[in-house]
Amino acid sequence: MTAPCAAALCLLLFQPDPAALIPLYQQALAEREKELGPQHPKLARLASDFGLFHRKYGRPDSARPLLLRALQIDERHYGPTNRITAEDMENLAAVSSPEEAIALRRRAALCDDAGVAARNLAALGAWEDSHGNRDRALAFYQQALAKEQAASGEAHPRYAVRLNDLALLLDPAQAEPLLRRALTIQESALGPAHPEVAVTLNNLANILLAKGQPAEAERAARRSLTILEQGLGATHPRVATAASNLADILQARKDLAGARLLYERALRIDEKAYGLSHPEVAVDLDNLAALLDRLGRKAEAAQHRTRAARIKASAR
């Protein structure tokens, strides 16, 4: 009964106009509900697909009731800790208010599937960290690491991501061995020139600088920048982030001229990538202004700082 509509839906998935899919999704939902009833898991899958379609095209208000319906059906059919149910919770969290999203993440973290639980525990850790709750964030990240170990093993790149999460909340002496372990995993599993290797190198560079090892920090940061330039292109926003990170280290090493070139490069990249009035551009301007102050170029510093303040004021 639903075959003609489903076939048309599959065909239109390859068409350039996403709006043409909406009536077909609606028709397929109505036909499947009539055929199977309102509580069938196949109906949940179609509702979820339709909800994710709306989310992809920037319609969270349309996505939310569909994703909620999928969750309600699957929770009734599979139970609250099943992987499918927990993934529904994750999807719904992405179109919910922050408070609702965290409540859904807490439920998904109880999933029987260790990998799904690890993702949501890590998300809870990031939430607590962003709100200044270091001890709670640390506890979530430790749980996420243990779950990821059970799900993926200690040689998997996802385990390296959890090591990074945890290391960034520890003091430098505790963080360094975790980051070196993560680096070894990523280099072995992904290759020495993978962008995820660059992320860990940046984190390691910051830790080494905090430990009073600026020369080693610079080597790690330069390697990170080179990996990203070669892998993503010289004008990618992640290259701007790596350039700023290296500039911070050069400042600490009193290479102010080298730091200035890197901050200016980061600013040019972000202006092109995000536009002239993006908050990331304001961060670059503030970084450059602080350095120009140290170089005694007060007038230029003031101009950059004023521009940054305008960007931040317009974003409020």
| Percent of the chain residues topping a pLDDT of 70 | 95
Average confidence score pLDDT of the chain: 94
Amino acid letter for position 85: T
CA angle 129, 52, 17 (to 5 degrees): 130
In this prediction, residue 21 has a pLDDT band, given cuts at 50, 70 and 90, of confident
Q: How many Å apart are CA 230 and CA 280, to the nearest integer?
A: 23
What mean pLDDT do residues 226-241 have? 97
Each residue's pLDDT tens digit, 140-167: 999 999 999 999 999 999 999 999 999 9
What mean pLDDT do residues 257-267 have? 98
Domain 1-77 falls under CATH 3.30.70? no
Residues contacting residue 51 through CB under 8 Å, at least 6 positions apart: 62, 63, 64, 65, 66, 67, 70, 91, 95
15 has pLDDT over 90:
no
**pLDDT score recorded for residue 1:** 39
Domains 1-77 and 215-316 share a fold: yes
**pLDDT score recorded for residue 34:** 95
**pLDDT score recorded for residue 235:** 96
In this prediction, residue 9 has a pLDDT band, given cuts at 50, 70 and 90, of low
- Pick from 159, 227, 241: nearest CA to 195: 227
The residue among 6 and 158 whose pLDDT is bigger is 158
**pLDDT score recorded for residue 16:** 55
Residues, the chain: 316
**pLDDT score recorded for residue 3:** 45
Q: Which of 12-16, 47-51, 56-60, 116-120 has the lowest mean pLDDT?
A: 12-16
Cβ proximity of 23 and 5 under 8 Å: no
In this prediction, residue 17 has a pLDDT band, given cuts at 50, 70 and 90, of confident
**What residues does each domain of the chain span?**
1-77, 215-316
11 has pLDDT over 90:
no
**pLDDT score recorded for residue 8:** 47
What mean pLDDT do residues 72-86 have? 98
Each residue's pLDDT tens digit, 213-233: 999 999 999 999 999 999 999
CATH code given to domain 215-316: 1.25.40.10
Cβ proximity of 64 and 96 under 8 Å: yes
Each residue's pLDDT tens digit, 93-145: 999 999 999 999 999 999 999 999 999 999 999 999 999 999 999 999 999 99
The residue among 86 and 19 whose pLDDT is bigger is 86
pTM to 2 decimals?
Answer: 0.87
Instruction: Give SS3 for 81.
Output: coil
What mean pLDDT do residues 287-304 have? 96
Q: How far is CA 167 from the centre of its chain?
A: 17
Is 240 exposed, middle or buried (CB count within 10 Å of its CB: 0-12, 13-18, 19+)?
buried
Q: How many Å apart are CA 134 and CA 140, to the nearest integer?
A: 10
**pLDDT score recorded for residue 19:** 83
In this prediction, residue 2 has a pLDDT band, given cuts at 50, 70 and 90, of very low
- Pick from 214, 215, 149, 156: nearest CA to 190: 156
**pLDDT score recorded for residue 13:** 52
Q: How many Å apart are CA 128 and CA 126, to the nearest integer?
A: 6
279 has pLDDT over 80:
yes
